[in-house]
């Protein structure tokens, strides 16, 4: 087998594995159902970070 043929065979093998993994991921996602989006933590405003500065 030439190098080109070997590479093409390897690529075909990897593409088959990728398709199998994608199918497995889809099956797992169906089993666990929809997952909620993680809540984003709100950034604190400057006024909440500490006590007010004297003189204000």
Predicted TM-score (pTM) of this structure: 0.53
CA atoms within 13 A on the CB side of 41: 3
Distance of CA 41 to the CA centre of its chain: 19
Is there a domain that residue 1 lies in?
yes
DSSP 8-state symbol, 48? G
Asked if the structure places residue 48 within a domain, the reply is: no
The answer to the question of residue 56 being in a domain is no
In-domain check, residue 18: yes
pLDDT at 9: 96
In a domain, 7, yes or no: yes
45 domain-assigned: no
| pLDDT tens digits, 10-49 | 999 999 999 999 999 999 999 988 777 777 777 666 665 5
Is residue 44 assigned to a domain?
no
pLDDT bucket at 7, cuts 50 / 70 / 90: very high
* Structural domain includes residue 22: yes
How many domains are contained in the chain? 1
CA terminus-to-terminus distance, the chain: 82
């Amino acid at each position: 087998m030439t190098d080109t043929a070997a590479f093409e065979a390897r690529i075909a093998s990897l593409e088959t594995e990728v398709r199998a993994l994608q199918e497995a991921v889809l099956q797992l996602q169906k089993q666990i159902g929809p997952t909620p989006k993680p809540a984003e933590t709100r950034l604190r405003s400057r006024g909440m970070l500490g006590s007010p500065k004297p003189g204000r």
